[in-house]
Chain A
Amino acid sequence: MAEEEKRRHRIALVEDSDEDVFLIQEASRKFSNEIHFVRFTTAESAIAGLTNPGSLPLDGIMLDLNLPRGSGLEVLNAIRRSDGLRSSRVVVLTSSGSARDRAAAEALGIRAYIEKPTGLDEFERAVEQALDELLIA
């Protein structure tokens, strides 16, 4: 197992924006050095990867809703339908401010729905809040 993967926490990160992934990783380093992100860039690949019986266990899932070729809600749906993942902790970190999206996600069961804020400090606080929900709370 690679050095990285020996770290204590594995979090699936379903996010298509490289810029945001970089920011999230920067922010998470402040939180803890022990976080390893498993990244998916599309809904398809996320569903396939997450529901794959051979995949390693996760501590939590950070989910963006605005994804190419499908939406984060589809991923969430698939997660909740899969036996192994049904009870996983999921935090939505998204740029969508839609009340409908929020309601739909909450109906499927999430720890938090966080809108990506503008401003670096605010963004870092949002990531910390997400990680807190997934790992600690």
Chain B
Amino acid sequence: MAPVPQQIPSTNSGDLAEPPPAWKTRLLLVDDDEGNLLSLQATLEDLVDELVLAQSGEDALRHLLDTDFAAILLDVKMPGMDGFETAGLIRNRKKSQTTPILFLTGFRSDDHLFRGYDLGAVDFLFKPISPEVLRSKVAVFVELARNTTLLRQNAEVLARAERRFRSLLEAAPDAILITNESGAINLANTRAEELFGRPRELLHGVSLKTLVPDWTEMAQIHSIELTGIRRDGSEFPCELTCSPLQTDEGLLITTAVRDITERRKAEENIRRLNSELEQRVATRTLELTRSNEALRQFAWAASHDLQEPLRIVVSYAQLLTRRTENLDDQSRGFLDTIVNGALRMERLLASLREYVFASDAGSEETEIVDANGLIEKVLSDLDLALKSSDAEVECAPLPTLTSVPALLSQVFQNLIANAVKYRAAAPLRIQISAERRTRDWLFGVSDNGIGISPEYHELIFGVFKRLHPHSIPGTGIGLSICKVAVERLGGQIWVESELGKGSVFKFTLPFNET
């Protein structure tokens, strides 16, 4: 339940300070004799900020309507209302009930004195009045008035601060309990009343342990999650944050109690959603792995099963060619087309098998491979093609590394075969290099062939992506096999090339710590 926003009274900084400059020390001098008044004025005017002169009781009372005085000097003997009568009326007024009254009189009589004190006089001064005595007595009351005002103002500031504090406390969204060291509650705010189902009067003096059984005096640091108990006995999860404060009255602890039922629910929801998500991901991954595996097996089987009929087509077409030596050139051409078509199909199937093999997600055993020996074998396998294109192969010393020999062979074989296929008019030069880097090997196969325009640099690694007509033999799978094989080995492959400027195929193989 959201707390009702409360109006927090705006205050000044609340510092306990000197009385504001507006406050002035004032004296009221009441005497029917103007001469006396002036004389008093002369004696006292430097003691106070303001001197108010009145020549009658009525006058005095009128002044007292709107002004506060530090003290009143009252002549007893006045025509009309005398001093005593005036004093009585002064005392009747709430405002001036406690204003110090000093009677000025020439009359020294016990009766007088008695009556005067009875009326609340604080002192009598007998004429002729000694100025020094007068001054010292008045000074006392001025000081007193000043101090009283100061005290009152400080109390006012304190009260304001207290009100502000309480407003903040009440406006707090969390239940706030202020306790002593041993957990006995001194103060509780509205939210605390709501949370624990008790009015604050009933919470006073109660131990925090009653509300949060697992609370200990040690739980005075930071935040801790415990269980709170409502009045009806039901439990709820809560978070306690304690701050101790050393005061003159001893150690006070402010404890904020937050009901985290909602938060717990949300956390639980998230946890549940996460685990559901993980579950779904795991299931999906399994499905994908299975379907991948199924596809792979299908591709493998298909490529084998498709091979057979092809072989028969080629063999019988060639048989026919042999038997029909008298056939016209065009018909022979037709037969050649049949054979070539079938042979191309066969190469595609072989490439498909290579692709499937290279992309096999199963763990292929790595071993220590001497790349020099590997390259020798590849070059010897391609010997016919290399010789017929008059190619010169320059091979830098290659490293011995941990890898999968079959895949590595496949990559080099395809790259070198490509160099042969896509050679230019100039005699073919192929260079094979290897560079040791911080975290991997960087291999390079470069040629001086026809090159590849930059806009195709990524395309060529896609399956069945050929840039050239069928006059240049090729399945369009060779480079995608390289890519899939290199990536299986943990590396990356790319080409640097421009049309007419040859090509450099580079690939990385990360170091394999065995």
Interface residues of A (CB under 8 A from B): 17, 19-20, 23, 26, 95-97, 116-121, 123
Q: Are B304 and A97 in contact (CB under 8 A)?
A: yes
What is the CA–CA distance of A20 and B310 in the complex, to the nearest angstrom? Answer: 12
B176 near A: Cβ within 8 Å?
no
Among the listed stretches B1-9, B186-194, B313-321, B415-423, which one makes contact with chain A, having 4 or more residues with CB under 8 Å of it?
Answer: B313-321
CB contact under 8 A between A118 and B308, given known A23-B315, A123-B315: no
Asked if B311 CB lies within 8 Å of chain A CBs, one says: yes
Check if A95 sits within 8 Å of B318, measured CB to CB: no
- Contact between A119 and B318, CB atoms less than 8 A apart: yes
- A116 touching B322 in the complex, CB below 8 Å, given contacts A19-B316, A97-B304: no
| Docked-complex contact A95 and B307, CB < 8 angstroms | yes
From A20, which residue of chain B is reached at the shortest CB distance?
A: B312
Of the listed residues B312, B315, B322, B346, the one surrounded by the most CB atoms of chain A closer than 10 A to its CB is: B315
CB contacts (< 8 Å) of B304 on chain A: these are 95-97
Assess the B310–A118 pair: CB atoms within 8 A: yes
Q: Complex: how many Å from CA A96 to CA B353?
A: 13
CB of A125, distance to nearest CB on chain B (Å): 13
Complex Cα distance, B304 from A26, in Å, reads 25
Which chain A residue lies CB-closest to B312? Answer: A19
CA of A30 to CA of B203 in the docked complex: distance in angstroms?
114
B62-105 to A contact mask, C-beta < 8 Å, 1/0:
00000000000000000000000000000000000000000000
Query: Shortest Cβ distance from A105 into chain B, in angstroms?
Result: 17
* B343: Cβ under 8 A from any A Cβ: yes
Task: Please classify the interface of chain B as helix (H, G, I), strand (E, B), loop, or mixed, using the class held by over half of its residues.
Answer: helix
A119–B314 CB distance below 8 A: yes
**A95 and B322 contact, CB distance less than 8 A:** no
15 contacts between A and B (CB under 8 A): A19-B312, A19-B316, A23-B315, A95-B307, A95-B308, A97-B304, A116-B311, A118-B310, A118-B314, A118-B315, A118-B346, A119-B315, A120-B314, A120-B315, A121-B318
For the complex, what is the distance from the CA of A23 to the CA of B307, rounded to whole Å? 17
A115–B57 CA distance with the chains assembled, in angstroms: 141
Nearest chain B CB to A97 CB, angstrom units: 7
* CB of B318 to closest CB in A, whole Å: 4
Q: Are A118 and B322 in contact (CB under 8 A)?
A: no
Residues of B within 8 A of A17 (CB): 312
| A95-B311 CB under 8 A given contacts A118-B343, A120-B322 | yes
- Cα distance A121–B316 in the bound complex, in angstroms: 11
List B266-318 residues whose CB lies under 8 Å from chain A.
Answer: 304, 307-308, 310-312, 314-316, 318
Bound CA–CA A97/B301 (angstroms): 12
Chain B residues whose C-beta falls within 8 Å of the C-beta of A23 in the assembled complex: 315, 319
Give CA–CA (A119, B311) in the complex, Å: 7
Give the chain B neighbours of A123 by CB distance below 8 A.
315
B311 A118 Cβ-Cβ under 8 A: yes
Q: Which residues of B contact A95 (CB under 8 A)?
A: 304, 307-308, 311
Q: B318 and A120: CB pair below 8 A?
A: yes
Q: Chain A residues near B310: list those with CB within 8 A.
A: 118
User: Which 10 pairs show the lowest CB-CB distances between chains A and B?
Assistant: A120-B318, A118-B311, A19-B312, A120-B315, A118-B314, A118-B346, A95-B308, A123-B315, A23-B315, A120-B319
20 A-B pairs besides A95-B307, A118-B346, A119-B315 with CB distance below 8 A are A17-B312, A19-B312, A19-B315, A23-B315, A26-B319, A95-B304, A95-B311, A97-B304, A116-B311, A117-B311, A118-B310, A118-B343, A119-B318, A119-B343, A120-B315, A120-B318, A120-B319, A120-B322, A121-B318, A123-B315
Residues of chain A within 8 A (CB-CB) of B343 are 118-119
CA distance A23 to B313 in the complex (A): 12
Specify which chain A residues have a CB less than 8 angstroms from the CB of B319 in the assembled complex.
23, 26, 120
B433 to chain A, nearest CB (A): 33
Shortest C-beta distance, A15 to chain B (Å), equals 13
Residues on B with C-beta less than 8 A from A20 are: 312
Most chain B CB within 10 A, of A95, A97, A119, A123, is at A119
Q: Tell me the bound Cα distance from A96 to B318 in angstroms.
A: 22
Q: Measured between C-beta atoms, what is the minimum distance from B12 to chain A in Å?
A: 94
**Closest CB of chain B to A114's CB: distance in Å?**
13
Closest to B346 in A: A118
- Please, which residues of chain B bring their CB within 8 A of the CB of A121? 318
List A contacts of B312 (CB < 8 A): 17, 19-20
Tell which of A20, A96, A118 has the most Cβ of chain B within 10 Å: A118
Instruction: Quote the shortest CB–CB distance from A75 to chain B (angstroms).
Output: 20
* Residues of chain B within 8 A of A97, CB atoms compared: 304
CA distance A20 to B314 in the complex (A): 12
**B320–chain A nearest beta-carbon distance, Å:** 10
CB distance from A31 to the nearest CB of B (A): 17
* CB nearest to A116 among chain B residues: B311
Restricting to B223-282, which residues have a CB under 8 Å from any CB of A? none
Q: Which residue of A lies closest to B308 (CB)?
A: A95
